[in-house]
A and B are shown apart, each in its own frame.
Chain A
Amino acid sequence: MIAVYFISAFLIAMTMLIVRRLLLTRWLMLLFVLIQWFFNGYVLLHAGQTELSYFTYDPAGVLFLGLLTLISTAAVIQGFPYFVSQLNKRFSYYYAALTGLIAAMTGAYMANDITLVWILVEATTLTASVLIYSERTLHALEATWKYIFICSVGIALAYMGILFLSLSMKGTGLHDLSFAGLTSVAHRLDPIYLKIAFLFVLTGYSTKMELFPMHTVGIDANSVALPPVGALISTGLVNLGFLSIFRVYKALSDSPIFVWMNKVLILAGVLSVLVAAGYMLKAKHTKRMLAYSTLENMGLVAIAIGIGGIGYYAAFLLLVLHALTKSSLFFQVGQMGRVLGTYKLDDSGLYLKLFPTGAIALLIGMLAILAIPPSGLFVSEYLILKALVAGKSWFVLILVLILLCCVIYALSTRVLHLLFSHPRENAGIHTQGTVGRWETISQFIFLMVVVGACFYQPPFLKDIINQIIAGLPNY
């Protein structure tokens, strides 16, 4: 079935590039979304099954695929208003690249081999760069160049990590790089090689996870890309970066470097939150502010994984709820950009007056991403802090609490300015465009789920997370 899925995606993307008719392209995109839902359903029904030897429908893949399907559906619909003219032929590249990005991410979630994950992650670089460049401005060119260059360096470093893993596996008799194979021999491998491999993998995939040290590429990409693309990069692609690192982490959890990996993750996590808090206090661009918020949340995820115990559960819950909240915020900020004609904070304001429905969605989204009750993220962040207390990591706990206060201050003052204040530099603000209230439906649905998770986490979600983290030490 996965072969049929890939062939369908390829044919649809090719047709879009050849035909170049806006209406037909939109219908083809909707057809692809339908195929995505159908494939998602198939994966759910055949959980645990392996196809083509290299794709396994394991719980982690199923969870992130479900999220991707939901968010990509909304992203496709939210993207329609950005391309309304048949004359502008850029739409065909945009939709073909969007199809390719979603298909590559889907494949990477399901891949059971390190090298295949790496190839598909590389494919996301190509497709995402086309999407980032879709507006063809100098800013877009700069962001695209940085994205391609830094991601390529990152992907080369990740490949070095894979090569070090294979060097350490020499003599074990294992000739493939499946995660299952690596797990079975991890305890016998040379710790120095494993440490270098893990460092390279973490650094390389941090370009996709938007984690320190190579987070900058995602920040620039998000600030330039169209909001629906930003939503996909900040959720689906970030989750893919995390999953690529987590699969290696889990495979090596039985090796002597387990404790060391945890320390590295905590360090990367704390530095991510530190950088995010610092830059959020200086942020003057709404989409950039949301990108730094992604860095902050991914930092918390890394800390949670590093601390272990209940932190594992908290990390996955945070990833799920962050994806729903962050995509809602990107969609909403995109609509705000259409109403105000700008994403610059100093030129924006009075959004509540201009578009009350969108402003309410933005306000709820802000409360949700800041983990203020009744946001479901409150539960995950509370569990992370609880895990830090249980692990007696007092220094990390205090530092994270201080930094989170900075994040709350920075984000809330900026969003409240957008909603209620007059623009700082352009007092006479004029509405640039109109947005239908129906366009906020996806945001409200996602945010309702996030709020609901504060009171009730459905058993299937708990089960799937517990299946993913089963077998990890300290759990």
Chain B
Amino acid sequence: MFYLLFVLFAGTLVYLSIAERFRSYAKLIAVQGFLLFAIALIELKTVNLASLIFVLAETLIFKAIVVPHFLFRIINQTKVYRVHPKAFPAFYSLLFTMAGLFMSIILSNMLKNPSLDAVFLTIALFTLFTGVLLIITHRRIFSHMVGFLVVENAVFFFSLAVGSEMPMLINIGILLDIFVSVLIIGVLMNRIGTQFSDLESDNLTSLKH
């Protein structure tokens, strides 16, 4: 069951790399939230009840419901539905994502640690890679924000790895997640979305030399 969840999570990452509609992004972020909820429920058996409730509430309420809701609101508000026409082609993006998965497997084997599951580490590194790839290769700010949310999920994976020994780190990671997501989504919705309706990063290049 545990590994099935990981495989499903990796599947969402691959789908994210080839998706061309922002609604698909928002749905995938919601699915990732539910999967993280299930993974946290299985992984964090040894932490105290308060920490567990905090983690589960964060994944289920914040990651799976609140954040996707705001993503849909931004899409409806800006009426920008697709990735930039000149975006990195999906085929190449898929190739890079696969290369990222391969590199993550190699790296997690290099970082073998008796107290850490190699599959866990592989997925965490793959999530980080996919998030960074989304930020680097896409031209619309919405994609950048989704990329950042994926990086946040990678951070959450890593914090789960040390969760049973240092539960404080998970809580801090969650606070980071909430705080930064709210800040970034808030700025995007209230300021950038109203000033630059097409959400293209090319609009944000006036600060040069």
Tell me the complex Cα distance, A192–B106, Å: 14
Interface size on A, as a range, is 35 or more
Residue interface bits A128-158, CB-to-B below 8 A is 1, else 0: 0100000000110111111011001101100
Closest to B116 in A: A167
Hey, which chain A residues are within 8 Å of B155, CB to CB?
156, 159-160, 163
B177 to A, closest residue via Cβ: A156
A119 proximal to B (CB < 8 A): yes
Interchain nearest-CB distance for A293 vs B (Å): 14
Binds A, one of B22-30, B95-103, B164-172: B164-172
Across the interface, do A170 and B113 meet the contact criterion of CB distance under 8 Å? Answer: yes
Please give the distance in Å from A145's CB to the nearest CB on chain B: 6
Residue A183 at the chain B interface, CB threshold 8 Å = no
Complex Cα distance, B144 from A138, in Å, reads 20
Q: How large is the interface on B (under 10, 10 to 19, 20 to 34, 35 or more residues)?
A: 35 or more
On whether the beta carbons of A149 and B144 are closer than 8 Å, the reply is yes
Interface of chain B residues 144 through 173 with chain A (CB within 8 A)? 144-145, 148, 151-152, 154-155, 158-159, 161-162, 165-166, 168-169, 172-173
Instruction: Convert A215-227 into 0s and 1s, putting 1 for each residue whose CB lies closer than 8 angstroms to a CB of B.
Output: 0000010011000
Whether A156 lies near B176 (C-beta < 8 A) is yes
Tell me if A's interface is mostly helix, strand, loop or mixed: helix
- Report B113-157 CB contacts with A as 1/0, cut-off 8 Å: 101100000000000100000010000010011001001101100
Question: Within 8 Å of chain A (Cβ to Cβ): is B87?
Answer: no
Among the 9-residue stretches B4-12, B31-39, B48-56, B178-186, the one with 4 or more Cβ atoms under 8 Å from chain A is B178-186
Query: How many angstroms from the CA of A190 to the CA of B114 in the assembled complex?
Result: 12
- Is A175 part of the contact surface with B, judged by Cβ < 8 Å? yes
Stretch at the interface among A40-48, A280-288, A369-377: A280-288
The reply to whether A224 and B207 form a contact with Cβ atoms under 8 Å apart is: yes
Tell me which of A119, A148, A177 contacts B184 (CB under 8 A): A148
B151 pairs with A156, CB closer than 8 A: yes
Q: What string of 1s and 0s marks CB contacts (under 8 Å) between A277-303 and chain B? A: 001001111001000000000000000
Q: Residues of B contacting A453 with CB < 8 Å? A: none
Cα–Cα distance between A303 and B71 once the two chains are bound (Å): 43
What's the least CB distance linking A40 to chain B, in Å?
28
Asked if B86 CB lies within 8 Å of chain A CBs, one says no
Taking a contact as CB atoms under 8 Å apart, the answer to whether A141 and B191 are in contact is yes
Please state if B172 and A163 are interface contacts (CB–CB under 8 Å). Answer: no
Shortest B141–chain A CB gap in Å is 8
Contact in complex: B176, A155 (CB < 8 Å): yes
- Which B residues have a C-beta under 8 Å from some C-beta of A? 110-111, 113, 115-116, 128, 135, 141, 144-145, 148, 151-152, 154-155, 158-159, 161-162, 165-166, 168-169, 172-173, 175-176, 179-180, 183-184, 187-188, 191-192, 195, 204, 206-207, 209
Q: What are 5 inter-chain pairs, A to B, with CB distance below 8 A?
A: A115-B172, A145-B141, A146-B204, A163-B173, A223-B207
